[in-house]
Structure 1
Amino acid sequence: MYSTEFGCFLPPLHDPTVSPYAALQHDIELCGLVDDLGFDEIWLGEHHSSGWSTLSAPDLLIAALARETRRIRFATGVIPLPYHHPVHIAERILLLDHLTAGRVILGCGTGTYVHDMEMIGVDAGSLRAHFRAALEVVQALLDGQVVDVTTPWFTAKRAVLQLRPVRRPIETVVASSLGEEAIDLLTATGTTPTVHVVPPWGAVRPGLDADPLSSLVQRVATYRNKAGGTAARIRCNVFVHLADSAARGVDELLPGWSAQRRDLYRNILGMPIPDSPAAHRRTLESLVDSGAFVVGDTAACARQIRELVGSLGGPVTLVFLVPGWLTHRATLDQVTAIANEVIPTVLGGFEGTAESIRLTSAEAGRQMKRRAALR
């Protein structure tokens, strides 16, 4: 794997005014395009309530996509371990490993929607302990161990998996805030983090976090120091939007972003987000101004992404958030532009042709002068 890789993250969110069948077809089309464009991995999320979060089984979608794609790696983004028996999680991930010919990543977390937990009797108060116990069992099973354990939440008796990974050990990634307790979990379990620059709603109020990038870089540095070096890969979810200018990009994003922010996060999930057009605009503008959302033309976006990668250090995968704030067609166009314009610029893919043009032009100029001197 290269030091810097690129992926896409599809949260399990679908506009409830769009047919659920059509929304899933859009997801399938987008995943096929991301594979064709050469992205390294794609993350598919899981939620179980709210009317917006209708992708409830990312493993099933990955299985459906396995034969429709060639090279991209699939990650569950993320499976809430407390919602499932850990033996079943380990079994399904290993089956996916076989169905995808070794292209699966286990992304896991605690879960976030309270109603998801209430529907199946998960105690939000014991969520972290439940998650830790489940993670340890899943890891042991994936390592080929026989597990005997009884916890307040599940029991495993002489549990063993019948399958083994196709090519290599299955990577386990944990959705993390990189707080002190989260870093302790990562280092103790030997897992790696996936972290948002900022969550999709950005900030509850404009300017609430004036410098989110510096905060993220500090937390990543703390994690790397505690993990014993820079070898561990960091996955960082970042939103990027290409537009003629940052101001034009804000105008393009504001209707879809503010609608999701208002209808899902404020009205359904109960977040104390001010609901006025001015507040939504100011919050979005502050996110763009701080670099938390990367918005602008190709050169500006590439420059910000280079700076972010340099600040994070070590091996990093930038995972571009695809949150559904635009129409489906506009989303496909944005992902294509990121792959064809921004990523090559970040990686220096245009430098060879630019240098050849410069040298050829310079030589042509010298030849013209020689010919003129001989006349």
Structure 2
Amino acid sequence: MDLGLFMMPAHPPERSLGEAHAVDLQTLAHADRMGIREAWIGEHFTQPWEPICAPDLMIAQALMQTEQIVLAPGAHILPYHHPAELAHRVAYLDHIAGGRLMLGVGSGGTPTDWTLFGIDGPGGQGRRMMWESLEIMERLWTESEPFTIEGEFWTVNQPEAILDGGMRPHIRCFQDPYPQIGIAGLSPASPTLHQAGRRGLIPLSLGLSSRYLAGHWATIQEGAEAVGRHADPARWRVGREVLVAETDAEARRLALDGMMGRMAREFLIPSYQAFGFLEFAKADPEHADADVTPEYLLDHGWLVGSPDTVAAKITELVEQIGPFGVLLANSYDYGDDQDAWDRSLTLLAEEVLPQVSGLSPSPDRGLSARAA
């Protein structure tokens, strides 16, 4: 098992964008020093609690302050971008990163973002746009001859060279043929995770309760087996709330009284209620909706406690859902108490990981690169 971060990112809505950006950069730099493998950085346009609308800009700056951590948009929401433009931005960023880049893709799930871009999310338009966009991007990264794609949503023309090659397609990814691609799923039998297995993408389960996460790997395997692929659990990423302190009592206080508890109370739980996801947060479907509080989530799913307690909770999680390769700790803005958050990451890397590293295989750390 290995460690990573999933940076939604979670910030108090009163935090300025510049201040929030600085907090995230500091967290990424500390994670890098701790040897944390990777970080996935979200993209939202109309969520003040999760305010990054350009994760590639965050990554470009973080690359200058880190040495080994692999960074990824988590995810670029493909319906909100022209695939030809985004394919070139990703390829260019891959060169800046020297291959220290992965790519997360998504179809979007924020209703106000759908409204902003005129997307019929509930009708499935976003998912159709995502798959069409990804296929266009992969062709732009791998084909050198001219072609035309006339899709449902975009028409893209790979041009012929003119002026003896003075004008021609020339931007390709640093990694051969392109960065590893991941995609997240939420629902118990997620069709997106089925496609992740089918297409060989990195599956990310940004989970609530272990009860519904247990079905994710079966869905991933089904997708892979449908096309004769082998689904490797070492590639599976699982996101959870994680906070480690010297004692259980201190960790509980920091979680419930800090940003983790505040965001659950003021934004996440009301969002689950509004959009029908509260059921996925329950450890038992018979529990009442009113039971789902930050305290309930901590007691039934969050990985919060002393190093020994968190190691035991991770072990229990693996027993419940099966082995996975990378635990993604959901990252929270503890900017007013950054030392506590940094200490949590330090304890996670130095005292928790050695106790659980043998629970499942870690993904290959090698990154293939295009020949210069």
Normalized against structure 2, the TM-score is what? 0.78
**Cα distance change, pair 28–224 in 1 and its aligned pair in 2 (3 A):** same
- Counterpart contact for 1:187–1:227, Cα < 8 Å: yes
What is the root-mean-square deviation of aligned Cα atoms in Å? 2.9
Work out whether residues 194 and 224 of structure 2, in 8 Å CA contact, stay in contact via their aligned partners in 1.
Answer: no
Please say if residues 195 and 235 of structure 1, whose CA atoms lie closer than 8 Å, have aligned partners that are also in contact.
yes
2:207 aligned partner: 197
CA contact (8 A) 1:6 1:39 kept: yes
Preserved CA contact (<8 Å) 1:12 1:56: no
The structure 2 residue matched to 1:271, chosen from 259, 270, 274, is: 274
Instruction: For 1:38-53, list aligned pairs within 5 A.
Output: 38-53=35-50
Give the superposition deviation at 1:317: 1.4
Once residues 285 and 246 of structure 1 are traced to their aligned partners in structure 2, the CA distance between those partners, rounded to angstroms, is 14
Aligned to 2:346: 336
- Seq. identity, %: 27
User: In 2, Cα distance between the equivalents of 1:42 and 1:213?
Assistant: 22
- Higher Rg: 1
2: CA distance, partners of 1:70 / 1:170: 18
In 2: Cα distance, 1:180 partner to 1:60 partner: 30
Matched residue SS, 2:179: coil
CA 1:175 to 1:101, structure 2 compared with 1: closer, same or farther past 3 Å? same
Q: Provide Cα deviations, 1:161-194, integer angstroms capped at 9, x if missing partner.
A: 5233324441011111362522442244332211
User: Residue 251 of structure 1 aligns with which residue?
Assistant: 253
> Are residues 1:317 and 2:326 paired?
yes
The structural deviation recorded for 1:265 is 4.2
Aligned to 1:369: none
Q: Does 1:158 align with 2:166?
A: no
Q: Which residue of 2 aligns with 1:186?
A: 196
What is the match of residue 128 of structure 1? 127
> What's the offset of the Cα at 1:339?
1.4
Matched with 2:240 is: 238
Q: 1:284 offset after TM fit, Å?
A: 2.8
Counterpart Cα distance in 2 of 1:269 and 1:218: 20
Higher alpha-carbon deviation: 94-103 or 302-311:
302-311
2:51 to 44, 50, 54: 54
Distance 1:268 1:180 in 2: 19
1:144 Cα deviation from its structure 2 partner: 3.4
Give the direction of change, closer, same or farther, for the CA distance of 1:215–1:81 in structure 2 (3 Å limit).
Answer: same
> Does the residue aligned with 1:12 lie in a helix, a strand or coil?
strand
Q: Which amino acid aligns with 1:283?
A: T
Deviation at 1:109, TM superposition (A): 0.7
Residues 230 and 315 in structure 1, CA contact (< 8 A), matched pair in contact too: no
* Alignment partners' CA distance in 2, 1:265 and 1:215: 18
SS in structure 2 of the partner of residue 271 of structure 1: helix
Contact map agreement 1:93 1:104 (CA 8 A) in 2: no
- Give the partner amino acid of 2:172: R
> Take 2:183 and 2:106, find their aligned partners in 1: how far apart are those partners?
6
For 2:273 and 2:154, locate their aligned partners in 1 and report how far apart those are by CA, in whole Å.
Answer: 31
Could you say which residue in structure 1 is the equivalent of 2:281? none
**Aligned-residue offset at 1:27:** 0.9
**CA separation in 1, counterparts of 2:340 and 2:318?**
26
Is the Cα contact below 8 Å between 1:16 and 1:52 reproduced in 2? yes
Instruction: Please give the secondary structure, in 1, of the residue aligned with 2:46.
Output: coil
Which position in structure 1 is the counterpart of 2:310? 301
Structure 2 stretches of 5 or more lacking a match?
160-167, 279-288, 359-372
Shift in alpha-carbon separation, 1:288–1:12, aligned structure 2, 3 A: closer
- Say if 1:113 and 1:161 are closer, same or farther in 2 by CA, change over 3 A: farther
User: Is the CA contact (8 Å cut-off) linking 2:4 and 2:326 kept in structure 1?
Assistant: yes
State the shift of 1:249 in Å.
3.5
**Residue 86 of structure 2 corresponds to residue 89 of structure 1:** yes
Write out per-residue CA displacement over residues 76-96 of structure 1, whole angstroms, 9 at most, x where no aligned residue: 111111110111221111111
- CA distance in 1 between partners of 2:271 and 2:222 (Å): 39
The whole-number CA distance in structure 1 between the counterparts of 2:256 and 2:311 is 22
1:15-54 mapped onto 2 (5 Å cutoff): 15-54=12-51
Q: Which residue of 2 aligns with 1:361?
A: none
Query: 1:72 and 2:82 equivalent?
Result: no
